Structures are given as structure tokens and as C-alpha cells.
Structure 1
Amino acid sequence: MSTELPGAVDVVATARGGAGPVAEGYEQQAPAIQMMPGNLEAIDGVVIREVTQIADMVLQGVGIPYEQANKYEVKQLPAGVTAASDFNQPGWLPSKEEIKALPEVFFINEESSACDRVCMTMLGCLNLRALKLHFYQNNQQTPLMVDRPCKVGGGCCCPLELTLTNNGQMVGMVVEDFDNYCGQCCAQTCACTYTQKVMVGSSRESLVHKYSLVNSYCCFGRVNNCCGGTCCKPNFFIDVMSPEGKFINAVQMTYGSGGAEDCCRMGAQMNNYVMTFPPGSSHWERLMLLTGIMSVEYAYHSRKGDENN
């Protein structure tokens, strides 16, 4: 299956060829870490882990309205491991050491205004902040970048959205699904269910809806996610659906293997995700699904800033 996109530049070749700025706070990994394969079709899935930032935990604990820019490790899913799709499957609960030992796919670094983060934390809408996400490989910046404007949400007729570009050329968008305004308002307010569309295309006019990501809280979705992703119930499931509404698989947001650090990370809303790519999906579709999980992470599974109120 072709991974070509009009105007696109090979990510790995660019990362290897030119020197790029080093991601702030990037931790040097073990020598076993390898360069990502030429395209994402060569791997079965990824593990996404928000980097632990102790300062965030301390500041949150004393009630100071500040959060550092987020950082994420994206690693190759081990052979033979797939994300669980319901609570009947135990799923993989990786430890920090297990994740760090995996081959690197990307390191993702958030760029956002510190002033914005402080103000929006005080207002209780930190999760809606404007930001950019820069993708790194082997400590060098790639041409991939996510742009996320500040949007208040589809309920206010301003749906959340992210745009992924490669060397300035649009790859696709992730947009909060509000095509049916009344239906989605009811789903969010009555069933605690939030849906985002994953679309691929080189312009807004050419976007093609490839997948939907359904984030359902409590007991209203396909599975009962109440208390999911915590020490009480280690997994929370985000459904990957076809545009027609057919279930494909699930992304497993997991508490981890347990221990004091995982407990602290849970309290600070620093998450792990295990994602198996849909069979037959292209490189760019998989890249957009990764972007979609970042959208879901920021919108629904990160701090709003009013947690201590």
C-alpha cells in the first residue's frame, strides 16, 4: 500500500539528513534504541507515555496554577503484544522500564505559552490551550508538526481541532465530531461520550474521514470505563471506529504496572496509551491516528486546572 502524500517529504530521511534543535528535556536513551522504520506500516503499533515531570506534581500539590509544557515518548509496540479491547482481556500493563527499553518511534515536545498555561489553569480550561507539537527522532527535529488552536468545543459551535503538517504540507486533521449538533450535545451531556474524527488530506477541501475515536466515560459506552486507567481499574478504552460506526479496535489507556510512581502519575493525570494499528491502514493514516490520540489526551485526559476546587 502506498504511503505517498502529495507534497510530502520522507520523515526519516529528513531527520537523518539535517541537524535540528534538541528537544528541551529530552532524555538520552539506551544504545538499544533504534531509528524508526521507513514507514509506520512496518510496525504493529505504538506505546505513548507522557514523560513524568516532578515539578508539575509538586506545584499541583501546593495549589500553584502552573504546568510545564508536556513531553511524550512514543515507542514501538513489542512483537506479539496487542492492545486489549475490553475488561475480559487483561491487556499489557507496562512499567516505565519496559517502555523505555522499547525502540523509539518519536519524542513529542509541546510548544506553548507559559503565560497562557498559567491563565488557563486559573480559569479551569488548561486542556483547551493553544499549542504546537514537535516530533523528534534520535534527538533531531523532524518536519512533522501539530498545530492546535485554542477552541472552546463543539457545544459552543467551536469544535476542537488539530492539524498535522509535514514540512509545511497538510497531512490531515483531527476534528471534534459535531456534524449532528443536537445528537453530539446529547451524547456529551447525557452519556459522557466524546467523538473526534480522524481525517487525511492535503487541504481542508480534500479531507477524507478515515476513523473516529470515541472517548466514553462511566458506563455509557461499549464498555464500562468508570474509574478506568486508575489503581482501581487499570484500563480505560478509547474506541477506534470506522466512519460508518463499525468497531475496529480499542486504544488502551493504562495505569501501568503499579507502584508509587504510577500512583503519583495517575494523580497528576500523566498517562500511558497502548495502540495497535488497524490492519491495512497506511503510514499516513497511522500517523493521523497517533495525532488523534494526542488530541484525545489533551482534550479529555489532561488537567483542566480546577481539580483542586
Structure 2
Amino acid sequence: MEENRIMFAAPGMQLMDNLEAIPGVVVKETTQVMDAVMAAVGGAYEAENKYDVRAMPPNVNPGREHGEAGAWRPTTAQLDALPRVYFVEEESNCCLRAILAAFGGLNLRALTLHFYFGNSDMYLVERPCKLGGCCCCPLEMRLYQNGQQKQLIGAVIEDFDNYCARCVGCCCLCIYKHKVLVGPTRDSLVHKYSVVNSACCFGRVNNCCGGTCCKPSFFIDIVEPDGSLAAVAQMTYGGGEGCADCCRCAFDFNNYILPFPPKANHFERLLLLTGLLSVEYAHHSRTGGEDNGSDG
């Protein structure tokens, strides 16, 4: 459709709203000073998140394990120079954010994410407030094509199909899985991929201290339903030498590199981006509750 096309100013690059035309995306959470201040002092405040989604350059190797030779480690300046694909903006209730920030449940908040393509609000992600799979209430994000009538594209749901095994995986091994499901109705959803966030040393790679100055990358596996590895995303500390990367890391303003599985179509890639944001909110963002018990 002609109205969905957009030209980017980056030299030599021209993109449409077609994720099949690019090998992957880079997601950068925008820095918000008030959030950093409130996190430092334990204040019950959190601004609505905003993310820049930019096209990953062709012919770069983002890497699949620690210490891989030739792995791409872009600086903040390099990320900012990449052509924008989407701008993602959160819409959520300020009072709910304040309450959850006070009690340590900020990462569970209900929200809507708007995917802007140029000036068009093209896609919506709806996330209800849920306690998580260990409480028999798995986290969920639903992706819709925006318009006069919303059309479901698919969903990302925390994987707790085998409750006992997943509780052991989460509580003992620090391995969290989110299923990427594609379909126009809830009854027709088909499991296409899983996003696996291993926060410790029991996953495919040792992610302890990953995404920091001690270990630049935190790897997040994208696997097929049969368990085979399809792609590897990462939360990256950055390749800069200044204090900006350190400050962004300390206050959970994260950068992600998401290579797409080559066979994934546009909507599956869009759902993988949703899955990455689901992992970001659930496991790599501020939970709040920093002052709880400090006066005791």
C-alpha cells in the first residue's frame, strides 16, 4: 500500500514497512532523566517508556556467544545514525505506575504500546496487568494491526504449559521463556518461536553480569518449537568508552540487537520484536520498591 511507504534520510538506504527487507533491528530505549533520579532515590515514579527501533545494517555479525571474534558492538552514536523503522511509545496509567513502583511490581504494569511508522500509528500492543506464570497468571502481550477495526496479528505469552517444570526453570535456573504465537484469533494462535531469557549460568551461554561493562552482551535465544536455535538477540552494553553507556546500564535504559530468523515473514518478525519488548518489561526494567524495608 502506497500510504505505508516511507523514505529514510540515511545515505543509500530506502525502507518500507516490510521487516523482511532488513536482517534485523536495533532497539534503543530513550533515556529519561527523571526516571534515573527516581530510581536513584527510590521514588515511586516511572515515566512511560519510549523506544527507537532502527534497521540493523546488512553484513554485520551481532554474535551468538561471549568473546566471539568480529562481533558487532555499536556505539550509541552509531545506533543513532541508523535509519528508523518504528518509534514505540508506551501508554499507561500514571497512578498505577506510581502504586506498582512503590511496591516492587512496576514491571508487571498494564500498558499499550503504539508502533509509529512515520506519522502513522500502525500497530498496537496491549498488555494486561498480570502477576506472572508462577502465580498461574502468565504475562501476555497481544499485537494488533491498528485501524478503524483492530485486527489481531498474534500474541506473546509467558510459557507455563508445563507448570512444575517452568517453575523450576524460573526459580532455580533463572531461565524464562515467552512463546511467540501467530494467528488472527485467540483460538487459531500457532506457536512459531520462543524467546528464552537466561539470567544466570544455566542457559546456552553464561549471562552472569551480561550487558554490563564487565561482560558487554546478554544473549537472548530465539528458538523453534522443536528447540533448535533460530537466532540470537542480545542486550548490549555498547561499544563506547565514555560514562554514558555506564549510566544507561545502571538505570536500565537498555539497547538490544535483534537479528531475524531468515525464514520469518514480516508479521512473525514484528511479533519477535514484541517478544523482545515483553522480555524487556518483565526481566530487564525497573521493578520499583527500592525503599521497602529501608526504615526498619
The yes-or-no answer on 1:200 pairing with 2:179 is no
- Alpha-carbon separation, structure 1, partners of 2:103 and 2:38: 17
- Partner of 1:214: helix, strand, or coil? strand
1:23 is matched with none
For the Cα contact (< 8 Å) 1:176–1:195, is it kept in 2? yes
For the Cα contact (< 8 Å) 1:36–1:104, is it kept in 2? no
How far off is 1:307 after superposition?
4.2
- Alpha-carbon separation, structure 2, partners of 1:308 and 1:251: 33
Q: Which of 60, 68, 75 is the aligned partner of 1:89? A: 68
The yes-or-no answer on 1:266 pairing with 2:244 is no
Q: Which of 220, 223, 234 is the aligned partner of 1:241? A: 223
The yes-or-no answer on 1:172 pairing with 2:151 is no
C-alpha RMSD of matched pairs (Å): 1.7
1:224 is matched with 206
How far off is 1:169 after superposition?
0.2
- Could you tell me which runs of 5 or more consecutive residues in structure 1 were left unpaired when the two chains were aligned: 1-9, 17-29
Q: Name the aligned partner's letter for residue 233 of structure 2.
A: V
For the Cα contact (< 8 Å) 2:17–2:117, is it kept in 1? no
Task: After TM superposition, list the pairs within 5 Å mapping 1:1-309 onto structure 2.
Answer: 13-14=3-4, 31-32=9-10, 36-90=15-69, 91-138=71-118, 140-167=119-146, 168-258=150-240, 259-307=242-290
Q: Deviations over 1:212-251 (max 9, x none)?
A: 0110111110100000001111100000000011112210
- Alpha-carbon separation, structure 1, partners of 2:284 and 2:140: 16
How far off is 1:255 after superposition?
0.6
Q: Name the aligned partner's letter for residue 148 of structure 1.
A: R
Q: Name the aligned partner's letter for residue 274 of structure 1.
A: I
How far off is 1:280 after superposition?
1.3
- Could you tell me which runs of 5 or more consecutive residues in structure 2 were left unpaired when the two chains were aligned: none
How far off is 1:279 after superposition?
1.2
- Alpha-carbon separation, structure 1, partners of 2:279 and 2:79: 21
Aligned residues: percent identity?
53
- Partner of 1:191: helix, strand, or coil? coil
Q: TM-score, normalised by structure 1?
A: 0.88
Q: Name the aligned partner's letter for residue 170 of structure 2.
A: Q
Following TM superposition, the consecutive aligned residue runs of length 4 or more in structure 1 with deviations greater than 4 angstroms are none
Residues matched between the structures, number: 285
- Alpha-carbon separation, structure 1, partners of 2:15 and 2:153: 19
How far off is 1:15 after superposition?
7.5
Q: Name the aligned partner's letter for residue 118 of structure 1.
A: A
- Alpha-carbon separation, structure 2, partners of 1:217 and 1:224: 8
Q: TM-score, normalised by structure 2?
A: 0.92
- Partner of 1:179: helix, strand, or coil? coil
How far off is 1:14 after superposition?
4.7
Q: Name the aligned partner's letter for residue 267 of structure 2.
A: W
